[in-house]
Structure formats: structure tokens, C-alpha cells
């Protein structure tokens, strides 16, 4: 299957989705949203996929909404309905990635701005090239961080940093992003995709159902009390305790051999 605005491949137990409008720093258009949606359906439909990498082609990861689609007419022209855009495009995208039953690696190859920054930060394991930067560009055009930004920023980096990033819209370097807990780690530019692929291939051999449950529980912790979280851990562990991969993990440990997980 060929796409116009993204690249999609599957190999070695993982999928790679590359945003591919490098001349516009991979900014989102309606076509790109539709193609990402189609690719994510493919990722989920193929049980052989047990991890996914999200990255960008060229020198940017993603510059957010393509503002060429938002050219303002005269003041009498009806304004765009951005609520509808979020409801139908950005919010489903964020929810779909969060709900994917496998770890999602963001491999941030360059500048990530606006909704592009929050798409990157919404990944489960976020790696960034040393030259990458994160910009909450929304305030520069009178908007609020979307794509989950107002939730992600305070949860990841705390209120003080969230406020400064969202209100000032200044670039945050990959190193600073790692330091403040916004991302997992920085890697050298030339090593980014090698490292991301190595990680995805490793994750693809792991207990995928367990990793998916970790993703769900850590997400739920953002709004749950400790009591609620303890209940959720009990119920999840009860379910996982009946799984193939739990049995295999214990047998392999006791048998002093490498486990062979099925992801179930």
C-alpha cells in the first residue's frame, strides 16, 4: 500500500510510521490525518506487530497543523471550526495511539512543534535526536496546546515548566526535555533510527499483553487515587496471571533458559 504523505513498513515484529511531507516539516493536512488513521488500523490489525515507531522524514518531526490550510480570508469570512478539527482529527489520533495494544516509540528526528510536539510526547517511549527541539507554538497564534498538550506537559514536567512552555512557546532542546522528564532519552542524531529499531525489535520479543497493561495502568494513574490504582493492579495482575507469557516467563526463569514470549 502506498501513501502520499506518510511511509509505512512492517518488519521484525514492529511497524514504522514515518510522517513524510519534509518540505513542510511534516505538518498535518487532512490527507495526512486520513493516511495516518489508515496506517494505524493496519498496525493494530496485524498481530505480528508488537511495537511501533513514529518518526518524521527530513529535518523535522512534525510542525503541527499545516497553516496553509488556515489562510485567513477577510474578517467577514466564517472562521474555521477548530473544535470540529480536534473532535474529528487530532483527538481520535491521540486516543488511537494511546489505545494501541503495543508500546509506541516516538523517534523525534528534528523540530516538533504545536500538535507535532504533543504527538511526539504522547508516545510511550520518547527518544529524541540531540538536535531535536520541542516547541509549544500554539500561544504564538492565540491557541492553547492541543493533542493532549495541556495534560501531557504538567503530568510529565510539572506545572511550572508546563506554564512556561505553553505561554512562551520557546524551543526546548532535546537535552533539556530529557533533563525535565518530558522525554525518556536523547541519542546522537546519526544513531536515532538504529537505536529506535533496536528497541522496537527487542520490545517485539517481550510479553506484549503485559507491556500494554503497563501502558494502560500508568495512563490511568494520571487520574486515579492510590486506592483505585491498587484495585486496577489487582485486576490486571489477576488477568495476566492466567496468560501464556506469565507461565512462560516463570518456567524460563526456573529452567534457567531464555523465555519465548508470544505476546499473549
Please give the residue ranges that form the binding site for ligand T3D (CB under 6 A).
24-25, 27, 63-68, 70, 82, 85, 111, 113-115, 135, 137-138, 141, 143, 146
Separation CA 264–CA 187 (nearest Å): 31
Residue closer to ligand T3D, measured from CB, 25 or 102: 25
| Residue 133: CB minimum distance to ligand T3D, A | 8
| Residue 147: CB minimum distance to ligand T3D, A | 7
Residue nearest to ligand T3D (CB): 64
| Residue 78: CB minimum distance to ligand T3D, A | 14
Residue closer to ligand T3D, measured from CB, 27 or 157: 27
Report CA-CA distances (Å) from 180 to 101, 130, 208: 27, 15, 28
Find out whether 233 and 225 touch, Cβ atoms under 8 Å: no
Residue closer to ligand T3D, measured from CB, 51 or 111: 111
Separation CA 72–CA 83 (nearest Å): 17
| Residue 90: CB minimum distance to ligand T3D, A | 6
* Other residues' Cβ atoms within 10 Å of the Cβ of residue 99: 13
Report CA-CA distances (Å) from 50 to 32, 53, 203: 24, 11, 7
Beta bridge partners of 185: 127
Residue closer to ligand T3D, measured from CB, 61 or 261: 61
Separation CA 121–CA 192 (nearest Å): 16
Q: Which cell numbers in the block locate residue 50?
A: 508488537
| Residue 150: CB minimum distance to ligand T3D, A | 13
Amino acid at each position: 500500500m502506498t501513501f502520499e504523505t506518510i511511509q509505512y513498513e512492517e518488519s521484525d515484529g514492529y511497524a514504522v510510521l514515518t510522517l513524510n511531507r519534509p518540505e513542510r516539516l511534516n505538518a498535518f493536512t487532512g490527507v495526512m490525518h486520513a493516511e495516518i488513521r489508515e496506517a494505524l488500523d493496519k498496525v493494530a490489525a496485524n498481530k505480528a506487530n508488537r511495537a511501533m515507531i513514529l518518526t518524521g522524514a527530513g529535518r523535522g518531526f512534525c510542525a503541527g497543523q499545516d497553516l496553509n490550510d488556515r489562510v485567513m480570508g477577510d474578517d467577514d469570512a466564517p472562521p474555521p471550526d477548530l473544535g470540529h478539527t480536534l473532535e474529528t482529527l487530532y483527538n481520535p489520533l491521540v486516543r488511537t495511539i494511546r489505545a494501541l495494544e503495543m508500546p509506541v516509540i516516538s523517534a523525534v528526528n528534528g523540530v516538533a512543534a504545536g500538535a507535532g510536539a504533543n504527538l511526539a510526547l504522547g508516545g510511550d517511549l520518547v527518544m529524541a535526536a540531540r538536535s531535536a527541539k520541542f516547541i509549544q507554538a500554539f500561544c504564538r497564534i492565540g491557541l492553547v496546546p492541543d493533542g493532549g498538550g495541556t495534560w501531557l506537559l504538567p503530568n510529565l514536567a510539572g506545572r511550572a515548566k508546563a506554564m512556561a512552555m505553553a505561554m512562551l512557546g520557546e524551543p526546548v532542546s532535546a537535552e533539556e526535555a530529557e533533563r525535565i522528564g518530558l522525554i525518556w532519552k536523547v541519542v546522537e542524531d546519526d544513531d536515532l533510527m538504529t537505536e529506535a529499531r533496536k528497541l522496537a525489535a527487542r520490545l517485539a520479543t517481550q510479553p506484549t499483553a503485559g507491556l500494554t497493561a503497563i501502558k494502560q495502568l500508568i495512563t490511568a494513574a494520571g487520574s486515579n487515587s492510590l486506592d483505585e490504582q491498587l484495585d486496577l493492579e489487582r485486576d490486571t495482575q489477576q488477568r495476566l496471571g492466567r496468560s501464556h507469557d506469565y507461565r512462560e516467563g516463570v518456567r524460563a526463569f526456573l529452567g534457567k533458559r531464555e523465555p519465548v514470549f508470544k505476546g499473549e
